[in-house]
Amino acid sequence: MKKYTYTEKQDTRSGFGDGMTELGRTNPKVVTLCADLVGSLKTATFIKENPERFFQTGIAEANMMGIAAGLTIGGYIPYPTTFANFGSGRVYDQIRQSIAYSNKNVKIAVSHAGLTLGEDGATHQILEDIAMMRSMPNMTVINPCDYNQTKAATIALADHVGPAYLRFGRPKVPIFTDPNQKFEIGKAWTVNEGKDVSIFATGHLVWEAIQAGEILAEKGIDAEIINIHTIKPLDTAAILKSVRKTKCVVTCEEHQANGGLGDAVAQTLAQNFLAPQEYVAVNDSFGESGTPEQLMAKYGLSAEAIVEKTLKVIARKS
Amino acid sequence: MTAKELKDKSIELRRKTLEIIYNAKAGHTGGSLSIMDILNVLYNRIMNVSPENFNDANRDRYIQSKGHSVEALYTVLADRGFFPEEDLMTLCQYQSPYIGHPTKGVNGMEQNTGGLGHGLPICCGNALAAKKDNSGVKVYTVLGDGEMAEGSNWEAMMFAAHYKLDNLCAILDYNKLQITGSNAEVMGLEPVAKKLEAFGWAVKEVDGHDYDALIETFESLPFEEGKPSFVIAHTVKGKGVSFMENNIKWHHGVPSAEQMEMAREELLIKEEV
């Protein structure tokens, strides 16, 4: 098992904010909008340095998505920002018709996705957004795993043409990816090569998968861990290459099992190479209040849960 | 074009719209006849947009928020030379680009619309980008009166006033009818002028079928410096064909062969007058 360590924890949303700061200095066409959550989205530096390229929309997310679509006429690259709940489910029809169907170059950037939003509870803890966004034609869906990767993804999206949904979170989590990484949309990152099981993880679950990999190594299990930061377009070549070798799969995500990364992987396997699969995901349930750690443990989104599912899936290999 | 020329043209535009709906056996007849004169004035007198300058970033923009009245827009765009009129005989057919709501797959169409309450927010974005670029672009949209119940319109109205988008003009196609009944029955809109003014817009009311009045209204844009403009156009659903006027059955109604012949005759008489 390749060793990963960290010296610092940081929130992925700060990766977004610092990515925007860099874009503010390098790309004059990048603009951002926010529905009254500037502090949470960490865009203060971008706004301070480029006040003419920031548009406050007030608490009116539907309108914000339409305005972002309309702003593209000047060649602008709008990043509308809010919480993931309000930037997906609340405005699904605006995104579908005015952004995706109209194929607008809009980068929807949303924070506080999933259970790790914590104390505010179920209303704000969206666990269905990946399913909604990956089912939408033209939409690119990205869920990076740490501060560095989120920053790199934010910057990479400015050079990508077309609608995109960039999902990140609130809590401070380990920084373990390369600060100078080049983010390739749609290209999975092999965290660890192994031969006994393919663990595909996205977002905050990638660090948990690494912890699981270390526990599994002690048990003599050689896990291949792959970070699927881009859920759409899915890197099916990397997925199939890995599963053809390991013959079994565990998918890990801070999202409902229904419609998320796990289902995207299962769809690929069903059509190409059958293999047993286990899901580390939320099982058809809303969230509740608690610290991120308490909630991730309760809903089975932890290194321990990944270990358990891995042992189960290996036993299912014929 | 002069008011007289535009008015003469409107009879032919109405007939063509009915012909394509009749041919397709589908369409939104009442609303298309309701907005025809507004579109005729915008495209043939007011807006700086044409097939020649359609790729020019500085052209004026029209986004039809009430996307369902697309047949009127298709007819006006064809007449303006954006595509051959005979293309419209494929309206709503399998594999035709002329589908039942506006799409950018059609030359001259700025934006995909259909679901209601989307047009005004996008126009706000267009107007904001135009302001940022000092491009002089003016942005126009037509909203349905039933559509005014969509909350996103009122979000956009707050935004447009806050950002002083005086290069934006929204037009209310105020025929007072929607698919289920009158606005008053379905969801009361009055006092609409006061509401729009209270939201920070400069408002003018006009007869939406009076060419002199429409021209004068649009030529006086913006109504007030620093404010977005709202035109309340009092219209008649099904305007121009007596048995279609003010009858909700024609919201989505398609004429029979006999009704089509009656409509042709009525319009022919108007043409001769």
- Rounded CA gap, B236 and B246, in Å? 6
**Closest chain B CA to residue A31:** B129
Nearest by CB to residue A63, choosing from B129, B135, B155, is B155
pLDDT, position B213: 98
Residue located via tokens 């419209």: B88
Mean pLDDT of B70-80: 98
Identify from A52, A95, A96, A98 which residue to disrupt to test chain B contact, counting B C-beta atoms within 10 A and taking the largest count: A98
Residue B7: the pLDDT is: 96
Quick one: average pLDDT of B106-121? 97
Q: Compute the C-alpha angle A69/A72/A74, nearest 5°.
A: 150
pLDDT of residue B272: 77
The answer to whether A172 and A13 have CB atoms below 8 angstroms apart is no
* Interchain pair A97, B127: CB under 8 A: no
B129 touches A at CB < 8 Å: yes
ipTM, two decimals = 0.92
What is the C-alpha to C-alpha distance for residues B189 and A140, in angstroms, rounded to an integer? 40
Distances (CA, A) of B87 to B27, B32, B104, B107, B159: 16, 18, 16, 12, 39
B54 pLDDT higher than 80: yes
Q: Give the pLDDT band of residue B270 (cuts 50, 70, 90).
A: confident
Strand-by-strand arrangement of the A277-282 sheet? A189-192, A223-227, A197-201, A249-256, A277-282
Find out if CATH 3.40.50.920 is the number for domain A189-317: yes
How far apart, in whole angstroms, are the C-alpha atoms of residue A206 and residue A202? 6
CB contact under 8 A, B155 and A62: yes
Reading the block at residue A162, the tokens are 């077309």
A50 has a chain B CB within 8 A of its CB: no
Task: Transcribe B2-20 into DSSP letters.
Answer: -HHHHHHHHHHHHHHHHHH
| pLDDT bracket for residue B185 (50, 70, 90) | very high
Query: Please, which residues have CB within 8 angstroms of residue A212's CB and are 6 or more apart in sequence?
Result: A199, A223, A303, A304, A306, A307, A310
Tell whether A94 lies on the interface with B, counting CB pairs under 8 A: yes
How many H helices and E strands in chain A? Answer: 12, 14
Rounded to a whole number of angstroms, the distance from the CA of B56 to the nearest CA of chain A is 11
* Per-residue pLDDT tens digits for B120-167: 999 999 999 999 999 999 999 999 999 999 999 999 999 999 999 999
Q: Which of A55, A63, A70 sits opposite B126 (nearest CB)?
A: A70
Enumerate domains of chain B plus CATH numbers.
3-272 (3.40.50.970)
The pLDDT score that the predictor gives to residue A318 is: 74
Strand B177-178 to strand B181-182: parallel, antiparallel, or no bridges (unpaired)?
antiparallel
Q: Which residue ranges make up each domain of chain A? A: 9-174, 189-317
Does the annotation count A49 as an active-site position?
no
A9-174 maps to which CATH number?
3.40.50.970
Task: Say how far apart CA A310 and CA A1 lie, in whole Å.
Answer: 15
Segment B195-205 shows an average pLDDT of: 98
Question: What is the spatial distance between Cα B253 and Cα A101, in angstroms, rounded to a whole number?
Answer: 27
Radius of gyration in angstroms for the set of CA atoms belonging to chain B, rounded to a whole number: 18
**Does A52 reach chain B within 8 Å, measured CB to CB?**
yes
Contact criterion met (CB < 8 Å) for A72 and B125: yes
**By CB neighbour count within 10 A (0-12 exposed, 13-18 middle, 19+ buried), where does B271 fall?**
exposed
Average pLDDT, chain A: 97
Of A64, A70, A102, the CB nearest to B123: A70
Question: Phi and psi (nearest 5°) for A236?
Answer: -65, -30
Q: What is the 3-state secondary structure (H, E, C) of A148-170?
A: HHHHHHHHHHCCCCCCEEEECCC
